[in-house]
Amino acid sequence: MNTNTTNNASFVPGEAIEEYDSSQSEVEEDIEGERSTRLPNGDIQGHHEGNSILNTNQPSDSNLTPTTATTTTTTTIPFPPIRSTITTNSNKPYSSFSKSTKILIVILGGLAGIFSPISSNIFVPAIPTLSLAFKKTENQISQAVTIYLIFQAITPSFLGSLSDSYGRRPIYLITLIIYLGSNIGLALCSTNSYWLLLFLRALQSTGGSAVISIGYGCVTDVAEPRERGKYAAAFQVGAMSGPAFGPLLGGVLTQTLGWRSIFWFLTIATCVVLIPLILFLPETLRSLVGDGSIPPPPLNTSPIILLQQRKMRRDLAEKGEIEVEETIEKPPRKPYQPLSAFMILLTPEIFLIFIFASLLYLEFYSILTVYSTALKDTYKLSELQIGLCYLPSGIGTIISAQLNGRQLDFWYQKEEKKVGGDYRKKPEEFDIEYTRIRCLAPFVMMFLASVTSLGWCLQVKAPLPATLVVNFFMGLGTGTIGTATVYGQDLKPGKGGAVSASLNLVRCIFGAIGVAAIQSIYNAIGAGWTFVLLSGICILGIPMPFIVIKKGKSWRKRREDKAAEKERIKKESSRV
């Protein structure tokens, strides 16, 4: 029997099939292939192990009957795994998860994603109060923010890669449990133990920071590239709510209930999110569940699904029916690569875009840190009033994420129509660099202009409403991290967690450097020139995106040629 693959190659049962496109040697999916089983009646049954589709001449609807073979046998003959590659002409949906399930995954991930940024920002309005409580300078208390950012940079690099291997769900739960315990410790921390404050902040960052990279991994698992901007933007609502509401909550709680109430609030909030996440979040890792149609291992299965499975077995037993266990060939688990987030930075086009986005993040986070001190010095505001003053920029960041998500999808779909296919199908014709990186331009210009204006508003003691309006536009100009993340995920499919962790590593290191130095710079030259200095550093990085647009495709082609040459030499050596 001859069955056509997506590249119209015929095969014989028991032989390995390769789908190979020489232009795709650098682009790999996270799916390991597909196996088929010959049933006793002669039918061919396909067991999906991912997204590398074995496309017969039948329609792709999974509810249709399989193709009938011309001969019969009772022997199960599995096919060896097809080499990991892209799917070129399959009409099968990217994910079998329903739209409502995708929305559930994004909502739960977005809620969990609040904790990473909010744990740093909620702390900022309490810095003056904590300096009195611990009898330390404000600069010393700010080191707790620096410690948080350092661990926020490092730990997702390992935990994000871990989720790419062992599944999103178990790593989600483990990290949030660590985060919960650290918040309880911070709420009970003695003011005589400054070292304990720093240690628990490091532990808090370890538990809370990985949820962003894991969440982005879930988005790439279920959302195809042409709609990834929309889902990533929805996920970012949670992540961006930290800058929006963290300082406000910190100011309210510090002024009304004391600084310890900040960490009790985070403890309660973690429990509220952790419970539905335990009950309902499905496993999405494509190397475990394929497009979502393969049952995950028990440790990766939610209690709701386990209860449904138990109820089904009980109902079958009551009816006297025998449950037929269907043997499903599972894709091999990806090996854990703890350094994969670091290795991604060896790709020059990704490295340059991540560096540029991180320069902007350095400026943004430095301003968030010094903003409370500047407001207190300039306008003599209370902690509650300072918290309210963070709200405009936070709202701006949320709006920015949504606008950027729509922009990413708009330009991607426009390029897709222009070349007659997406980046996976037509990588040579599809200009992924220009399509994605052009989305940086409006936000970069708005951000640099508004930040410089904000510095001089604080310097000359402009009316507070004018400062808040400029602060809003600063938040509106932050839609750059999402673009950098999506671009990296386009180039490294199947490594969504590692890509997000890699960007997180660079931007948080930059952010930690900025936070460590910003108070001293502000005290030395004032708000106006401090913000001009930060904007000048970002302007020096503007050539980086242009270099990537011009050179990105040729760099990839050179890597592909080298990989093909190595493969050729290896085959010749094996023949000898």
pLDDT digits (tens, 9 = 90+) for 283-331: 888 888 877 778 888 888 888 878 877 777 777 777 776 555 555 555 6
Whether 405 and 525 share a structural domain? yes
Q: Is residue 137 part of a domain?
A: yes
Whether 306 and 349 share a structural domain? no
Yes or no: say if 286 and 168 are a contact pair by the CB < 8 Å rule: no
Non-local (6+) Cβ contacts of 536 within 8 A are none
**Residue with tokens 């029916």, as numbered in its chain:** 321
Identify the domain containing residue 143 by its residue range.
94-322
Domain C-terminal end among 322, 354, 383: 322
Domain C-terminal end among 290, 322, 354: 322
Q: Tell me how far the alpha carbon of residue 332 is from its chain's centroid.
A: 23
Query: Which of 119, 113, 122 has its CA nearest to residue 273?
Result: 113
Give the number of C-alpha atoms closer than 13 A to the C-alpha of residue 542, restricted to the C-beta side. Answer: 13
Whether 359 and 504 share a structural domain? yes
Radius of gyration of the chain (CA): 26
**pLDDT, position 328:** 54
Q: Is residue 524 part of a domain?
A: yes
Nearest-angstrom CA–CA distance, 444 and 442: 6
Nearest-angstrom CA–CA distance, 16 and 85: 14
Q: Is residue 9 part of a domain?
A: no
Whether 293 and 403 share a structural domain? no
Q: In a structure prediction context, what are the per-residue pLDDT tens digits for the chain, which is 576 residues long?
A: 443 433 333 333 333 333 333 333 333 343 333 333 333 343 434 444 333 333 333 444 434 333 333 333 333 333 333 333 333 344 566 777 888 888 888 888 888 888 888 887 787 778 888 888 888 888 788 888 788 878 888 888 888 778 878 888 998 899 999 999 999 999 999 888 889 999 999 999 988 888 888 887 888 888 887 787 888 888 877 777 776 678 788 888 888 888 899 999 999 999 999 999 898 888 888 888 877 778 888 888 888 878 877 777 777 777 776 555 555 555 666 677 777 888 899 999 999 999 999 999 999 989 988 888 899 888 988 877 887 888 898 889 889 988 998 999 999 999 989 988 888 788 888 999 999 999 999 999 999 999 999 999 999 999 999 999 999 999 999 888 889 988 998 888 877 777 888 888 898 889 888 888 898 899 999 999 999 999 999 999 999 999 999 999 999 889 888 888 888 888 888 887
User: Residue 44 — φ and ψ, nearest 5°?
Assistant: -105, 125
Whether 135 and 227 share a structural domain? yes
Structure tokens of 419?
Answer: 């070349």
Residues in the chain: 576
Whether 305 and 347 share a structural domain? no
**pLDDT, position 549:** 94
Neighbours of 315 (CB within 10 A): 10
Report long-range pairs for 553-558 (Cβ below 8 Å, ≥24 apart): 553/431, 553/433, 555/348, 555/349, 556/26, 556/349, 556/491
Query: Which of 390, 401, 530 has its CA nearest to residue 471?
Result: 390
Nearest-angstrom CA–CA distance, 278 and 175: 12
Whether 296 and 355 share a structural domain? no
Helical H segments across 67-113, by residue range? 99-113
Yes or no: say if 479 and 357 are a contact pair by the CB < 8 Å rule: no
Nearest-angstrom CA–CA distance, 139 and 515: 10
Element (H, E) at 357: helix 348-379
Whether 354 and 318 share a structural domain? no
Whether 111 and 257 share a structural domain? yes
Q: Is residue 36 part of a domain?
A: no
Yes or no: say if 226 and 99 are a contact pair by the CB < 8 Å rule: no
Q: Could you give the dihedral angle defined by the CA atoms of residues 308, 311, 315 and 321, in that order, rounded to the nearest 10 degrees?
A: 70
Neighbours of 435 (CB within 10 A): 22
Whether 240 and 352 share a structural domain? no
Nearest-angstrom CA–CA distance, 521 and 184: 34
Output the domain CATH number for residue 439: 1.20.1250.20
Is this structure's pTM higher than 0.75?
no
Whether 214 and 138 share a structural domain? yes
Give me the residues paired with residue 48 across strands. 34
**pLDDT, position 40:** 38
Yes or no: say if 163 and 105 are a contact pair by the CB < 8 Å rule: no
Q: Could you give the dihedral angle defined by the CA atoms of residues 524, 528, 533 and 536, in that order, rounded to the nearest 10 degrees?
A: -170
Structure tokens of 372?
Answer: 């409370």
Q: Is residue 58 part of a domain?
A: no
Q: Count up the domains in the chain and report the number.
A: 2
**pLDDT, position 142:** 80
Q: Is residue 187 part of a domain?
A: yes
**pLDDT, position 166:** 84
380: left (phi over 0), alpha (psi -120 to 50) or beta: left
Q: Is residue 70 part of a domain?
A: no
Nearest-angstrom CA–CA distance, 307 and 285: 21
**Residue with tokens 């890509």, as numbered in its chain:** 499
Nearest-angstrom CA–CA distance, 320 and 185: 54
Domain C-terminal end among 322, 351, 379: 322
Classify 337 as helix, strand or coil. Answer: coil
Q: Is residue 56 part of a domain?
A: no
**pLDDT, position 70:** 38
Nearest-angstrom CA–CA distance, 440 and 480: 6
Structure tokens of 189?
Answer: 């921390």
Nearest-angstrom CA–CA distance, 321 and 314: 10
Classify 37 as helix, strand or coil. Answer: strand
229-265 in b/e form (b: 16+ CB < 10 A) is: bbbbbbbbbbbbbbbbbbbbbbbbbbbeeebbbbbbb
Query: What separation in angstroms does the CA of 255 have from each of 85, 123, 186, 191?
Result: 57, 13, 18, 18
Yes or no: say if 387 and 576 are a contact pair by the CB < 8 Å rule: no
Whether 464 and 529 share a structural domain? yes
